[in-house]
Structure 1
Amino acid sequence: MRYARADRLIQLALEMQAARGGLTLTDIEQRFDVSRRTAIRMRDAVIAAFPQADEVPSNDRAKRWRLSGGAVRPLLGITADDLASLENAAALLIRENLVDQADELRGVASKIRASLAAELMRRIDPDFGALAEAEGLAMRPGPRPAIPASLFATLRTAIKSCRKVTFQYAGRISGTQAPRTVRPLGFLYGHRHYLVAQNDDAAAARAPVRFFSMPQITKLRLLPDNFDRDPDFNLRAFVAPSFGVYEEAPVDVVWRFSAEAAPIARQFQFHPSQTAEAGDDGTLFVRFHAGGLLEMAWHLMTWGRHVEVLAPQALRDLLPETMPNWPALP
């Protein structure tokens, strides 16, 4: 237990060095999931152990504390892509219910950020922020297709620098190649990875945002032309109403899981807007508001006879009249 407390104090010291604007007591409470009294004790212990810790001047009422750099030699060769990859991996671990491993990985990221020189962090932070916004979302578990690393590298460069790209895009059924020039905005990770982008045309400012399946992209080329990113576009908010990647108007969805499958279904978050209610007979009612009925139907097939669609009728029509007698997901 003493070692655990020591580890937390070391981690707090690293967090205080990594946070250029300093940490408040509220920050410590939230990051370490502790009470205000414990946060105060942790802060005081770090200040006592590290005399170079000082209070950071700020315009808000909350006091902030920071541990000045210099205690750790800066690491060389760290990039925004490296930090974004660590953050994405931690988010994936959390979605797989591996919270402890995610905390450990984010601890590694904090150690790296704490060890970098301030000037280097000032150069990296804008790119890291752009990548975190573009990639840190909608990561669903499941198999992933093999995609050349160069494809991601080029698209990441385009997102960071707001540059257009051109590529050949194959139709999923016909396989016919067609040229596309787009304005890349971000990625959607899942069973198939997608590029989220706008077609570049005369009405580009009002062009709808589209999903392009990454395995169907070939001959990708970065263009010298820049574009202005819409400051009001938020990728997380854009995908929130969808169950998958199909662009449909969201509808009210109600599923009922059998008493046998209810304990397992409670472990899943099917959609961020969902609510769950236990039935008198041990069943579980799950409600949410989203589009993407076809992907819902594909997912529901994995639950077999253990799930019933109460709404909408359009989703019920996509399923066979008699669901297979498969067991519920483990």
Structure 2
Amino acid sequence: MAVLPLTLLSSIANLQKRAGGIMRYSRQEDLLRLAVRMQGSAEGISLTDIEREYGVSRRTAERMRDALLRAFPAIEELTAEGGRKSWRFPPGTLGKMSEPTLDELSAAQRAAAITRREGDEASAEALESLLAKVQAMFSHDRRRRIAADLEAQLLADGVAFRPGPREKIAPEILKALREAILAGVMISADHRARGTGKLSRNTRLGPIAVLFGQGRQYLLAHSEYQDDLRLFALTGFERVSALNEVFVRPEEFDVQEWLAEGFGMWRDDPVDVEWHFAPEVAEEAAGFVFHPRQHAELLADGALLVRFRACGRQEMEWYLARWGDKVEACYHPVTN
């Protein structure tokens, strides 16, 4: 764990006295986090940023800033257009105080394990390479302790070894798709349809996003032939080549908004959904977010009613099968 300089500890103590001795230990942690934020920001941290992030008043934000200014005279004051002031540390000021914590490292390792489990080997290897480079900067003793703690944390999570099916995606296909998306160009692809097995050669697509999730993985792309957005199973790609043609994604298109219109990946006409969970499973069901735009209501008899609008009824039915006869589903066509 990073050790705070005596000057910063003294500033924290002064803040505690001014607050009547009731300042919680969490405020000390906030000051340390603020110091790290100031070193990691090129444009600096303003008083408004401190108020918003730490949920404090303007006066408390000023005291937090002043505590760091007293502890670290090297902090730079920046003035943007309009007179807005912000503060930052010159790079390297905090030294080892800015080293990542065990929680941060284990979160990155967990992300790598989940990414590999979902079939994205290239991203998993990139994350693991980044972790190795970060840990290479630690002292020998800390590297040894961190390695043991990370292994124990990963086993405790059960992430890396959780059983379950996943699709195998060719790394070269995924790499080609990502490069095309980043470059903003069209692709030519040979793709085999999942349902019919029919191979479409030289299909021209404008790639938008690679979508990972439980089970099947897809490319969201604009199909030049169908002149519309379509989902293409990643396992169906047998060849992908980038073209020297710019692809401009639809204006104001938001992938998250597009995904929120459906339940899972299936696309069909939207419906107004009502799921009625029996009282004996209502508490369990209340612990789930079935859809980002859902409205849940606990009824007088103890049952739970969940409403939302989405397409993908087939995937809804597949999902509800796990609840057996403890849920009743109603679907109403959207009329407006």
TM-score (norm 1): 0.65
CA positional deviation for 1:164: 1.7
- Give me the whole-angstrom Cα distance separating, in 1, the residues matched to 2:83 and 2:300: 50
Counterpart of 1:187 in 2: which secondary structure? strand
Question: For residue 168 of structure 2, what is the aligned residue in structure 1?
Answer: 146
Contact 1:144 1:190 in 2 (8 A): no
Q: Deviations over 1:1-48 (max 9, x none)?
A: 99865554333222223232223344345545x433665544333333
5+ residue gaps, structure 1? 74-84, 94-104, 116-141, 315-330
Checking the alignment, whether the CA contact within 8 Å between 2:270 and 2:333 is kept in structure 1 is no
- The residue aligned with 2:182 is 160
> Is this contact kept in 2: 1:181–1:199, CA < 8 A?
yes
CA distance in 2, matches of 1:276, 1:233: 28
State the number of aligned residues.
Answer: 255
The Cα of 1:172 is off from its aligned counterpart by 1.2
Question: 1:165 and 1:64, CA in 2 relative to 1: closer, same or farther beyond 3 A?
Answer: same
Name the CA shift for 1:41/1:295 in 2 (closer, same or farther; >3 Å): farther
Match of 1:186 among 190, 209, 219: 209
- The C-alpha deviation readout for 1:111-141, integer Å capped at 9, x for no partner, is x8xx9xxxxxxxxxxxxxxxxxxxxxxxxxx
| Aligned equivalent of 1:10 | 32
Tell me if 1:299 matches 2:319.
yes
Deviation at residue 181 of structure 1 after TM alignment? 1.9
Instruction: Give % identity.
Output: 36
* TM-score, with length taken from structure 2: 0.64
Query: Which position in structure 2 is the counterpart of 1:129?
Result: none
Moved more, 278-287 or 218-227: 218-227
Greater percentage in helix: 2
| 8 Å contact kept, 2:276–2:327 | yes
2:192 maps to: 170
1:221–1:274 CA distance, 2 compared to 1 (3 A): same
Kept in 1, the 8 Å contact 2:297–2:304? The answer is yes
**Using a 3 Å threshold, how does the CA distance of structure 1 residues 301 and 38 change in structure 2: closer, same or farther?**
farther
Contact 1:9 1:46 (8 Å CA) reproduced:
yes
Question: RMSD in angstroms over aligned alpha carbons?
Answer: 3.7
Sort the Cα spacing of 1:42 and 1:187 in 2 relative to 1 into closer, same or farther, 3 A. Answer: farther
Deviations 1:274-325 (A, max 9, x none): 11110111111111111111111111111111111133389xxxxxxxxxxx
Give 3-state SS (helix, strand or coil) of 1:261's partner.
Answer: helix
The Cα of 1:236 is off from its aligned counterpart by: 1.6
Is residue 285 from structure 1 mapped to residue 281 from structure 2 by the alignment? no
Gaps of 5+ in 2: 1-22, 96-106, 116-126, 138-163
Q: Give 3-state SS (helix, strand or coil) of 2:279's partner.
A: coil
Q: Hey, what does 1:228 align to over in structure 2?
A: 248
What residue is the counterpart of 2:224 in the other structure?
200
